[in-house]
Structure 1
Amino acid sequence: MGQSYELGSLQDEQDCQRLGDILCQSFRVLKSDWLDYSRMIGLDNFRVLRGVQGIVGGLVVYPMGQWWGGKCLPLAGIAAVGIAPEYRGQGAARCLMEQTLGEVYEREFPLSALYAATGPLYRSVGYEQGGTRCYWQIPLEGWAGIQGSLPMVPLEGEEILGHCEGVYRQFAARCSGYLDRHPALWQMTLNPQEGQVFAYGVGELEGYIVLSQRSHAAERILDICDWAALTNEAQRTLWHFLSLHRSQLKYCRWYGGMIDPRLALLPEQSAQILSSELWFLRIVNVPLALELRPYPSLITTELHLAIEDPIIGENQGCFVLEVAGGQGRVKRGGRGSLRLTIRGLAPLYSGLYSAAQLSYWGQLEGEEAEIAIASQVFAFPVPAMPDMF
């Protein structure tokens, strides 16, 4: 008979030390890194799983937001999921995730996201691929002719966050999947562990860039920690500014989506993706998530969904999604003619995969005409999330 576990918060310094030991071993980090990380995140955001012998594992729940079609929806970001080695393979990790999802549902988060170190665990509790995160590289030579007319203004100290936060929020609203960052993510973005950071504003609050420089394998790299441009001229100014580093640095690198519209301003297709990964999304509250999500404004229709969710019982069953004027309304009941699991709903909701694609792979069942309508209803640009958490 399996051991029983209970989810809870950190109660004292001993709990904090025990969880730190588990996470340091799980992620191969130093104790000093754990202390810095826990202070930055806030101990209230950690959850631990207790068994008969005490704490067996834990994780972090980041309360954040995520942008979808110009609208910011509440999001529970899950990170630092770790189980003590002696308790692995006994169902503790799944129990930790199930109970955490129960709490996240009670806190009325419609969505949850994470980066999956192992797919089977997170898929077993309803997460599925939600969007892209790609590591881009472009040589700084070859596009020096691009010009920008706006001034670049050095930023220092507290003015960096003050300038960047407002511009980022406007930029992120245009990019499905981008985060409304938790304060800890802002700190990690603007203060990376390696290298000195330089920050610049573009014009009158039209953009910004935060960058650092390093050498790697005899190559000199300019790393973009964060950047955003609200106008065409601001982005052209940023490209021009980056090209001015070409005499000292060979490549520019940054994280973005699989499709990065900023590259359309460059004369040549010289950028390449060095690596890529997919982050995972979980629909925590089906009616709330469907009603908060924006939809194409010219579509008026209804979809009859049948959802299977073995973890959160309130999501189980049939729902009617009525779409009109760019908004959705959800009610219980209906024919249930579009059948899918809570896992299959995640990439449909995010727009990563269309209803037609999901049906080809057996993730969605229904009549061809209704599947075609669903593909239109849930259409979004390919979602991206440059941040790692």
Structure 2
Amino acid sequence: MEIRDLTPDDLDAVLDVRKRSFGLVPAHEAERWRSMVIPTLPEGRYLGAFDGGRLAAAARLRPFTQWWHGRPQPMAGVAGVTVNPEDRGRGVGSQIMRAVVERAAALGDAVSVLYPATTPIYRSVGYEHAGARHRVTLQPEALRTIRTSGQVKLRRMGPDDAAEVISVLHRVHGASRASGPVSWDEPTLRAWLGRPDDFLYLADDGYLIYRWDGGDIEVDNLVAGSADTARALWALVGTSSTIATKVVAAVAPDDPVLWLLRERSTDHLTVTRWMFRVIDVAAAVQRRGYPRGVTLDAVVEVDDPLRPGNTGLWRLEVSDGTGTATTTAAGSGASAEGPRLSVNGFAALYAGVPTATLRGSGLMTGDDRHDESLDTAFAAKPYMLEYF
């Protein structure tokens, strides 16, 4: 099996694998997909596994920015992982995913995320459950009760506002110390903001993207950096309350709208889980944000069969909102004794999964003296608004 970069000549075969894996692809969607993919092929972000000259599997690495405790870093979003039905069960999926991890490292990404169609294959290459996309069902008339200050200026937005949207995300996610949300690269965002059936509004510190879905409203993105802007954007959605039967919105698990509603007795929530991998331990720890006022000095042992450079003892130090991970030798003192984690367990720890959960699931063993400090330093409620 040969794994290589895809070229434009391979895209018909990719579409065939996608059709066999996920169902029919309408012609207009196929053309839009081609227009988005072709410019990225020279970047080495689309891999194919070939059996002779026949495409057996494919996987794409999408360039994202992801925030962890308010600090942005590059992230490899893995999408479009497809294997021909006749090639399944031969280890082809694992082969291409191992190549994806190595390519993410070569591209300079220290972390990676994917939405799994199945879990075992991704766990086998170091990905672990970390966060989720939360979609809540709201009653339109409840949004109409949200009172606004009348001071927030909203305007319609489009593709030319892509850079401003990215700027808003950096300011809002940084100030809120968010963990997990992402931003598309500017070319992709420009295309997204050009979809004809979406309604888009921009404020100085927030924006809204929504659409009609039959008799319902679907909110893709609503990001706000202040209470006034949150009220203004949600109230705008609520202006359709006399027509819409319900509003389905992608939200943070503690989105302010859930406290703005006058009536909230039950939540109807759909959760789609995503998985996370640390590609480079040292770079990932250095690029992450941490709570100010929290200090950590602990040694952990990481085992990463796929990337030996991650395997070994790591001294984790956190102070003043920043962190470092440095390799350390065994037997260099009591401080060099600590918990042991698979790379899956380290990914989950990084994403805020409590040490008690990691120990209960077998992802973490050994010395527990630093567990509370590790929980405090890596505390997070990771979420995403996007699905890719």
TM superposition score normalised by structure 2: 0.89
The reply on whether 1:289 has 2:284 as its aligned counterpart is yes
Match of 2:383 in 1: 384
Task: Look up the equivalent residue of 2:290 and give its one-letter code.
Answer: Y
Tell me the equivalent position of 1:181.
Answer: 184
Secondary structure in 1 aligned to 2:48?
Answer: strand
Q: What residue is the counterpart of 1:164 in the other structure?
A: 165
Amino acid at match of 1:198: F
- 2:310 is the alignment partner of 1:299: no
Tell me which moved more, 44-53 or 336-345.
Answer: 44-53
- The residue identity in structure 1 corresponding to 2:97 is M
Cα distance in 1 for residues equivalent to 2:169 and 2:346: 29
Summarize deviations over 1:145-168 as a string: whole Å, max 9, x none. Answer: 321113553415444535533323
How far the C-alpha of 1:341 sits from its partner, in A, is 0.3
Distance 1:23 1:143 in 2: 39
Q: What is the letter of the counterpart of residue 306 of structure 2? A: I
| Letter of the 2:41 counterpart | L
Is the Cα contact below 8 Å between 2:205 and 2:224 reproduced in 1? yes
Correspondence for 1:317 among 306, 312, 320: 312
Deviation at 1:309, TM superposition (A): 0.8
Amino acid at match of 1:180: S
Alignment of 1:310-389 (within 5 A): 310-334=305-329, 335-351=336-352, 353-380=353-380, 382-389=381-388
Q: Which amino acid aligns with 1:238?
A: L
In 2: Cα distance, 1:163 partner to 1:327 partner: 27
Map of 2:333 onto structure 1: none
Flag the 1:221–1:58 CA change in 2: closer, same or farther, 3 A. same
Aligned to 2:5: 9
Match of 1:266 among 261, 278, 285: 261
Q: Deviation at 1:91?
A: 0.4
CA drift at 1:67: 0.5
Q: Which amino acid aligns with 2:386?
A: D
**Matched residue, 2:64:** 64
Deviation at 1:290, TM superposition (A): 1.3
Q: Secondary structure at the match of 2:221?
A: strand
- How many Å separate the matches in 2 of 1:270 and 1:241? 23
Quick one: structure 1 residues 208 and 292, their matched pair in 2 at CA, closer, same or farther if it must change by over 3 Å?
closer
1:186-197 maps to which residues of 2 (within 5 A)?
A: 186=189, 189-191=192-194, 196-197=197-198
Q: Residue 8 of structure 1: SS of its match in structure 2?
A: strand
Change (3 A) 1:184 1:121: farther
Q: Distance in 1 between matches of 2:296 and 2:255?
A: 32
Change (3 A) 1:188 1:126: farther
Q: Identify which range, 170-179 or 93-102, moves more after superposition.
A: 170-179
Listed one character per residue, the Cα deviations across residues 272-309 of structure 1 (whole Å, up to 9, x for unaligned) are: 23411110000001111112212222223311111111
Change (3 A) 1:251 1:371: same
Contact kept in structure 1, 2:234 and 2:257, CA below 8 Å: no
Q: Is the 8 A contact 1:214 1:222 kept in 2?
A: yes
After superposing the two structures, state which structure 1 stretch, 315-324 or 144-153, moved more: 144-153
* Aligned length, in residue pairs: 374
Give the counterpart letter for 2:179 in structure 1.
Answer: S
1:384 is displaced (CA, Å) by 0.5
Maintained 8 Å contact 2:159/2:189: no
Q: 1:26 corresponds to which letter in structure 2?
A: S
In the other structure, the counterpart of 1:133 is: 133
Show structure 1 runs of 5+ residues with no match: none
1:53 CA drift (Å): 4.5
Corresponding position of 1:110: 110
Cα deviation for residue 81 of structure 1 reads 0.5
CA contact 2:296–2:317 (8 Å) conserved in 1: yes
Return closer, same or farther for 1:223/1:127 CA change in 2, 3 Å cut-off.
same
Percent of aligned pairs with the same amino acid: 25
Per-residue deviation at 1:196? 2.3
The answer to whether residue 84 in structure 2 is matched with residue 84 in structure 1 is yes
Aligned partners of 1:319 and 1:330 also within 8 Å: yes
Name the aligned partner's letter for residue 118 of structure 2.
Answer: T
